[in-house]
Amino acid sequence: MHLKYTVLFLLLPCVILTNHAHAQCPPFEVTPEWLAQIEAIAPAKPLVAPKEPRKVLICSLMTGFKHWCTPHTAAMLKILGDKSGAYEVVFSNDLANFEADTIKQYDVIVLNNTCSKNPDRHLFYDVLQDMEKAIELENNLINHIANGHGLAAFHGGIVAFNKSKPFSEMMGGSFHYHPKQQTVTGLIVDESHPITSAFHGEPLVHFDEPYYFNNAYFDYNFRPLLKMQLDPDGPVDKRQKPSDASIKRYISWIKPHGNGRVFYCSPSHNAQSFEQPKLLQFILNGMQYAAGDLDCNDTPLTEN
């Protein structure tokens, strides 16, 4: 058994090449061996005990770009909930879950790489081809969070309704673009924060597709958790302007929305990132915040 895991470890991690060449994170299928590896390193218990049983809907609907790690992310989230006892998971891409009477059963809605497609950039419209109904379901989601529930979005989850101002305001920003995949360092904004305590003061170093956002760097209506630092010798970002150099680019944050809570985590473009136990603890902490179990400072920067 140990030999099997050792071989798996050699095959799956990202490989950083020399001479400033790009690292590589080859796609791979979800296997029983990989699931066992993640379960072995996942937190055995939550940071705080759930105040009540929590039910989480994981929506992995993709109509635009399809991230290969989406099934891995869903499986990882289930393992975190099952092993720690923090929450139970329901997997479904059925839009009926977003009807007003149905969505009420979920404590947390997870948007797992739910990328929409151009030109509309509206996940529900892509499926329904009825914008009035699509906006109704989007509003149901926004109102559900405002009424005291949680939203957790991973990587491409922020792209679900990318042209919607209400969704962007709830999320804390919207997707703009990303440069090439590269080594990304996630610097801890506040080491004393309960969610970032998972890293024990050490930055998150991983190979990722670094997202740049609209609105997020100007409104700052969230509390940042991780700040992005790129290797100056990495791939050249031809779209970045000289004036952008001073912008603090955050890649994970939390924020209140009405009576509810939002957790966004951009790091997760490659499933290899989940092989870091500290990232798993960080994600579990964020899920507990979204569920309303982890009480912590979520005051937006603009209100400091």
pLDDT of residue 220: 82
Which amino acid, 23?
A
Gyration radius of the chain over CA positions: 18
Which structure tokens are listed for 290?
């979204």
Q: Judge if the upstream peptide bond of residue 119 is cis by omega within 30 degrees of 0.
A: yes
Strands lying side by side in the sheet with 108-112? 88-91, 55-59, 108-112, 150-154, 260-265, 250-257, 223-230, 182-188, 204-208
Tell me the average pLDDT across 106-131.
96
**Alpha carbon distance 119, 205 (integer Å):** 34
pLDDT of residue 245: 64
Least confident segment among 4-13, 166-175, 239-248, 287-296: 4-13
302 vs 299, residue with greater confidence: 299
pLDDT of residue 3: 30
**Alpha carbon distance 127, 300 (integer Å):** 34
Q: 252-282: per-residue pLDDT in tens?
A: 999 999 999 999 999 989 999 999 999 999 9
Q: Which residue has tokens 């991230």?
A: 67
Least confident segment among 15-24, 42-51, 294-303: 15-24
pLDDT of residue 211: 75
Residue 171 near residue 128, CB atoms below 8 Å: no
Res. 239: pLDDT tops 90: no
| Distance, CA of 62 to chain centre | 15
pLDDT of residue 218: 72
141 φ/ψ angles, rounded to the nearest 5 degrees: -65, -50
Tell me the average pLDDT across 148-173.
94
Q: 177-203: per-residue pLDDT in tens?
A: 678 888 989 999 999 999 999 999 999
Domains of the chain: 31-295 (3.40.50.880)
Res. 37: pLDDT tops 90: yes
pLDDT of residue 242: 65
Strand partners, 58: 91, 110
Res. 6: pLDDT tops 90: no
How many C-beta atoms lie closer than 10 Å to residue 32's C-beta? 8
Going by pLDDT thresholds of 50, 70 and 90, the confidence category of residue 302 is confident
Res. 17: pLDDT tops 50: no
Least confident segment among 85-89, 243-247, 288-292: 243-247
**Alpha carbon distance 251, 210 (integer Å):** 8
**Alpha carbon distance 17, 22 (integer Å):** 6
**Alpha carbon distance 214, 109 (integer Å):** 23
Q: Which residue has tokens 């948007």?
A: 111
| Distance, CA of 72 to chain centre | 13
pLDDT of residue 11: 41
Describe the crossing of helices 32-41 and 70-84 by its angle, rounded to 10 degrees: 50
Residue 252 near residue 266, CB atoms below 8 Å: yes
**Alpha carbon distance 98, 185 (integer Å):** 35
Least confident segment among 2-6, 15-19, 207-211, 237-241: 2-6
247 vs 92, residue with greater confidence: 92
The average confidence (pLDDT) of the chain is 89
Q: 42-95: per-residue pLDDT in tens?
A: 999 999 999 999 999 999 999 998 999 999 999 999 999 999 999 999 999 999
Tell me the average pLDDT across 98-120.
96
Q: Does pTM top 0.85 for this prediction?
A: yes
Which structure tokens are listed for 28?
């791979």
Exposure of 105 by Cβ count < 10 A (0-12 exposed, 13-18 middle, 19+ buried)? exposed
Pick from 145, 61, 138, 81: nearest CA to 109: 145
**Torsion over CA: 42, 43, 47, 50 (sign):** positive
Cα distances (Å, whole numbers) of residue 213 to 192, 200, 220, 258: 26, 27, 11, 22
pLDDT of residue 163: 92
